[in-house]
Structure 1
Amino acid sequence: MIYRFRIILDTEEDVFRDIEIEQDTTLEQFHNVITQSFGFDGTEMASFYVSDEQWNQGEEISLFDMSEGNQPVRLMNETTLSDVANESSPRLIYVYDFLNMWTFLVELAEVAEYENGREYPNIMYIHGQIPDQAPEKEFVADDEYNEDDDNDDFIDFDEYGDLGFDENWN
């Protein structure tokens, strides 16, 4: 089967790509197709996130294992599109370059049959140009922080001398 995805850059202007790709393609291969279709060199860190109907970020599927063995991590090269996207769960979030946070909304639009003579992956449609800089993101905490709250976990970094670090640690 062929998956037809719309990949939308999370920005004010309409910037998206429509891509046909085989369902058994790994997320690493899909990552390469996405970066190439948007004109990135593909050398930055990236992750996919399983998403729900409201585009809430769920389980991470990472390009590389950065966990240092602390807990199991799903990797792109071990996960196929059919493992994470289907008609009942069609949404993924894709983040490329964690310093700039290029964020894409990836939605499975259709599952289709192979077309003889067509090569996959196939970029069906290109709309819009990538901006020079990643769109600004506003990150808001769930709970507002109040300095006056009695919070034993709060560290005043202006008083870092009291933390007991050895200044010649290296």
Structure 2
Amino acid sequence: MSHYITTHDSTGQSVVSDKVPTVPHAHPIPGGRLEILYSSHDFPPSLETEKDIDQYAHDRTHGMENGICPSKGTAAAIVHIEPNAISAMHRTMSLDVMVIIEGVLEAHLEGGEVRTMRPGDSMVQRGTMHQWKNVTPNDGWAKAAGFSTAIQLPLVIAGKPLETEFRM
């Protein structure tokens, strides 16, 4: 799989950046791996310089201070989920869009709802507690594209301030 980020040369022409390798870096996560495709620490990011590309190059090898999505920025990733893996019930302080690419995933919500998702299906997580379960037939892997953006904090729902949370 190849990965490219575009930019502009000194004359303003579109070119592919040579600042990052063309192969995404895979970070191990419980039950799979995560390939960070892009991250910015500002929203909206400035594209007048390559500051965002430099920051992404750092993030992909050193990780980020706030998990996947920088606290004031954006991120895009491919999530690979092992056969039969079940994530922790969790909440992130970001707006996350997940699009299923391969396999079958169940999204379990804190309120008890379950949605079965197949390739092409999507879910927008708005700071909600959720859990992913790979139910792909024949012990298959599942893959999803994830897009995250920072949200206004604090997040207060029903009078209660919420934070990033993981329940095992």
TM range (shorter): under 0.3
Flag the structure with more relative contact order, 1 or 2, with Cα contacts below 8 A and sequence separation at least 6.
1
* TM-score, with length taken from structure 1: 0.24
TM value normalised by structure 2: 0.24
Q: Which has the larger radius of gyration?
A: 1
Hey, which of these two has a bigger chunk of strand by percent?
2
Specify which structure has the higher proportion of helix: 1
